[in-house]
Structure 1
Amino acid sequence: MQKIQHPSNNAVLGAPAGWDQAELPCGALPITRTHVGDLPVVASYWRPDAEELAMLNAGGAIVLQVLGVTMPPVSLSVEAA
């Protein structure tokens, strides 16, 4: 999937301090800082390419991977074009 610029984006995240780009490259990610109710959230927007869409339509799954040993609270959803 490719990260995309969304009209709501209002910030950009970079690699964490001390990140080893040679070991695992980490590029800039456009984000939207907002709230869901009283909770602060950070949203990024992604678009599957044609091959990924074909895999999803054939019953494939989206995988969310978080670096580390646990997973913080996350949410995945679909937004209309």
Structure 2
Amino acid sequence: MHIGRVTGATRNLGAPKGWDPTKDGICGGLPIRDEPHSPGVNKMVSAWLPTPEEIALIAAGAPIYLAVLGVSHPPVSMFVGNPPADPSLQPRDTTDV
């Protein structure tokens, strides 16, 4: 999967405190859009774009996995956004959702 640019991004998340790229791997920036979820609860939305190979696997019934580092699993959700109005005008790794 490639990181996409979420429409209306409000900030860019970087590596968490204590992240060691030599042990933990590369942790690039992740554009997110902050949205209110419910009173006092923030929701962070990011965009992920499957590669053509991943699209073929998904179409064949392969699952989409979500991996969360740590020992406590935060509430998460996954959903499908809308395709770009004209996909030929935007590269795959910067499509807004």
Q: What TM-score, normalized to structure 2? A: 0.78
For residue 45 of structure 2, the aligned residue among 43, 46, 53 is 43
| Residue number in structure 2 paired with 1:69 | 71
Inter-partner Cα distance in structure 2 for 1:43 and 1:7:
10
Inter-partner Cα distance in structure 2 for 1:26 and 1:77:
23
Percent identity, aligned pairs only? 40
Larger RCO: Structure 1 or Structure 2 (Cα < 8 Å, ≥ 6 residues apart)? 2
Inter-partner Cα distance in structure 1 for 2:28 and 2:54:
21
Q: When the two structures are aligned, how many residues end up with a matched partner?
A: 81
Where do 1:1-16 residues align within 5 Å?
Answer: 1-16=1-16
CA RMSD of aligned residues (A): 1.1
What one-letter code is carried by the residue in structure 1 that aligns with 2:4? I
CA displacement at 1:70 relative to structure 2: 2.5
**Residues 31-74 of structure 1: CA deviation (Å, up to 9, x unaligned):** 11111243310111011110000000000010000001221100
| Residue number in structure 1 paired with 2:60 | 58
Structure 1 portions without partners, runs of 5+ = none
Structure 2 portions without partners, runs of 5+ = 84-97
More helix by share: 2
